[in-house]
Amino acid sequence: MRLIIRNAQIVNEGRIVTKDVLINKNRIEKIDHSIAIHKELVCNEINAEGLYLLPGFIDDQVHFREPGLTHKADLFTESIAAVAGGITSFMDMPNTLPNTLTNELLEQKYSLADEKSLANYSFFMGLTKDNWEETLKTDTENVCGVTDDGLYFSKEDGIIANYPEYIEKIFANSNTLIALHSENDAIIKKNTETLQLQFNSDIPFEYHPIIRNEEACYSTTKELIDIAKKYGNRLHLFHISTLAETELFDCKTPLHKKRITAEACVHHLWFSDQDYKKLGAKIKWNPAIKSEMNQKGLFDALHSGKLDIIATDHAPHTIEEKTGTYFQAMSGGPLVQHALPALLEMYHQNKLTLEMIVEKTAHYVAEIYKLKERGYIREGYYADLVLVDINQSWKVTKENILYKCKWSPFEEQVFQSKIMTTIVNGNIVYTNGVFDYSPKGMRLQFSKIR
């Protein structure tokens, strides 16, 4: 059945225009002023007058926790929260149980998503020091990339980015997109030991950005960039959190020619170190949320093009796992339901334009990962769309939180903009608080050459 969206203010490719959009099956068939439909054709209509139509948010960094950690989250619950938040596609990290370190385990996750996910999906292949030959087998047309995010050699060894000789071996042999978490474990360990002398195990949460400080981020990010330049490899750096790091990135090369790209995350843009006293462990993420100076630096880098996209790093834990001392409370938190409303709030605060929000959450994500026929509102592309009322306020409460973990750092926040309808592959999966659970998302496809 066809679907027509009438009189929508379409935010797409740097412009806002009022047009109709005709959807036939999974794809956008026509975009034009006042599309006429033959009376014999059956067609559903949405009157979008006064609403903005955006390409769906493509989130390249989520932890949906399935398999093995489904007490925190799972592919069904988090995809529900995602589409309610305007996210139509996601890319999931490998730190599930078991860790996604073989192509067989990778395909098992795809099978789960095929049955459960309302949003489109892809899964990263995990990267450790023991499986690099397996990562070389990754099908770059069917898998978004390779990453170490959330994976550790061991508690003592730390993250893979701290082993430049191993990174060199990977970069010398791989032609796929490699996405990395960059922090220096030696610096973090030294800072932790210093504060333990002062506070023992009860370190206040506001010291998190002092433990995981600017130097810890900058030093490792610089080293990774230097190695990537040496081999000309395709490197993407997750969740940049400091002003100093942003100076390492190129804003002159067109995005489609960049070999090194990077992102900001919603929580680093919204919160600052001033929020730890109120929210404590609820905003404990790695890398840490830092000072307002660093926060401003991220906005500047998004505007200049040094940072290319915005993601969530949605990493839910139960509220019990977020309580206790500094060392007991786990890092990470849920974000997919509230990320786009938060970015739209930044539009109201004159920090981002609607056009930039669309670029950084859809267009440029599609460009970085070379996604096939998604990320834009174009004829022939998949109909992954979000209708937004930018002037309808609502409040985040325990009752309307959809995450399986049932909490949010945004609780009691009033947003001025509301997601009204989310369309995935031409199917209305969410509208006005009501879900259609029957249509499932599709496996994302990528161009082989990246």
Distance CA 184, CA 213 (A): 9
pLDDT for res 210 = 98
327 exposed, middle or buried (CB, 10 Å; 0-12, 13-18, 19+)?
Answer: exposed
Phi, psi of 101 (to 5 degrees): -120, 0
Q: How far is CA 30 from CA 37, 47, 86, 166, 380, in A?
A: 11, 16, 22, 49, 8
Distance CA 448, CA 295 (A): 35
pTM above 0.75, yes or no: yes
For the stretch 38-56, pLDDT in tens is 877 789 999 999 999 999 9
- Residues of the chain with confidence (pLDDT) below 70: 152-157
| H or E segment and range at residue 122 | strand 120-123
